[in-house]
Homo-oligomer: A and B are copies of this chain.
Amino acid sequence: MIIEQLDKPVAGSLMQTLPGSAYTDANVFALEQEKIFERMWFCAVRGSDVAAPGAFKTVQVGRESIIVSRNRKGEPRAFFNVCRHRGMQVCSGEDSDGQRNFRCGYHAWTYDLDGKLIAAPNLTRMPDLDRQDYGLKRVHVREWLGYLWVCVADEAPSFEETVLGEVVDRLGEVSNLDRYAVDTLVVGKRIVYNVKANWKLIIENFMECYHCATIHPELTEVLPEFADGLAAQLFVNHGAAFGEDIKGFTVDGSAGVDLLPGVNPDQDRKYYAITVKPQIFINMVPDHIIFHRMFPISEDLTIVECDWLYLPSVVENGADLTNSVELFDRVNRQDFDVCERTQPSMSSRMYTGGGVLVPAEHHITEFHAWHGAMLAS
């Protein structure tokens, strides 16, 4: 399908959404936790937030509290945050800059940075307690784009097929993302949003630009083609071009900061966006990356953590990032506002059978098909 086709009338053009209950039923949400968030690769923590050996952050993945950390060699490690003795959360604070081991604060069972049980009171009197068997339960972990991705399932799906596969589908090849060298960038700004809406409403919102003209005046000023309501994600490796007078991806179109050196000429003055299911949005512009991690908390609450990533030199030199950050912060607030105003209608009798999708929203249909397949798996 090419963009011009969407200009012409299409018979049978309307598709159904999911039924309203998919967004309000606590049982559906529990199934999503089990079959999606606790089974797939989940982007949990920025690697630099746990830079040193023994530094950790605790993070909610599905229904589990997970410790994300590094061992003595600096390798990423992740564990269920549950002591193997009586279950207390081994890491209680939200984070730490670095510690030698994980010591449970209840009975002092102590684990090394690879999770092995190394000490406990009276341990010598319990010969049948194997220190390896009673180590902290490991969680699959992998570092990519400077983030620590975890999978709490016993068997992790192929990272290449799932995570990288989404990048290939969108950009043609992973090298088109690699050029941004996201892992070398640093967090210039982080904003955490509490969104009172189902996580799928947020994904669906991100998957179409039919709403852009209505709610995103600043964004459509910078990216004029977005005013046509046609999502930038429609075409393999299509980037949305900046407007003629636009100097940078900023709230007022003023110049941005230093360009990312790997960006190639095709990518300059363009905006690309990728959705990595189930919970990541990556937005690429020539001088920074906007990286969203969603943490679904309940059927009607989602926490979204958004990082603005820049060249280390830009951040170190104290460059003014205000206009740069404010553009997508406004976009986020505009999007999350409509998601929150959509959530209550999901329980209306009028939405029992769902609503409709116009042709420009066809990515949502694919998302719904994926969602159904995951729940049925």
Binding site for B on A (CB under 8 A): 6-14, 17, 20, 38, 63-65, 80-89, 92, 105-108, 121-122, 124-129, 134, 137, 152, 204, 210-211, 213-215, 229, 338, 341-342, 344-351, 354-360
Contact = CB atoms under 8 A, between A and B. Distances in A.
Contacts of A229: 121-122
A360 B354 CA distance: 50
Contact of A106 (B17, B82, B122, B214): B214
A133 B22 CA distance: 24
By CB atoms of chain B within 10 A, which of A8, A12, A128, A204 has the most?
A128
Given A124-B9, A359-B125, A215 B106 contact: yes
A87 B346 contact: yes
A134 B121 CA distance: 60
Contacts of A38: 349
A13 B213 contact: no
B129 A13 contact: yes
Contacts of A356: 84-86, 129, 134
B85 A358 contact: yes
B348 A65 contact: yes
A226 B119 CA distance: 19
B215 A105 contact: yes
Dominant SS at the A interface?
loop
Contacts of A126: 9-10, 13-14, 358-359
A9 B9 CA distance: 81
Contacts of A211: 106-107
Contacts of A345: 65, 81-83, 87-89
B125 A6 contact: yes
A82 B351 contact: yes
Nearest to A92: B341
17 contacts: A6-B122, A10-B127, A11-B128, A12-B128, A13-B129, A14-B126, A64-B348, A65-B345, A80-B350, A83-B345, A86-B204, A87-B346, A87-B350, A89-B342, A121-B210, A122-B229, A126-B359
A127 B38 CA distance: 42
A174 B87 CA distance: 36
A89 B13 contact: no
Nearest to A62: B349
Contact of A64 (B89, B215, B349, B355): B349
A152 B349 CA distance: 10
Given A106-B338, A129-B356, 4 more contacts: A14-B129, A105-B215, A106-B211, A122-B359
Nearest to A356: B85
A10 B210 CA distance: 69
A127 B92 contact: no
Given A65-B344, A214-B107, A215-B106, A87 B125 contact: no
Given A106-B338, A127-B9, A87 B14 contact: no
Given A106-B211, A345-B65, A125 B7 contact: yes
Contacts of A105: 214-215, 338, 341
Nearest to A7: B125
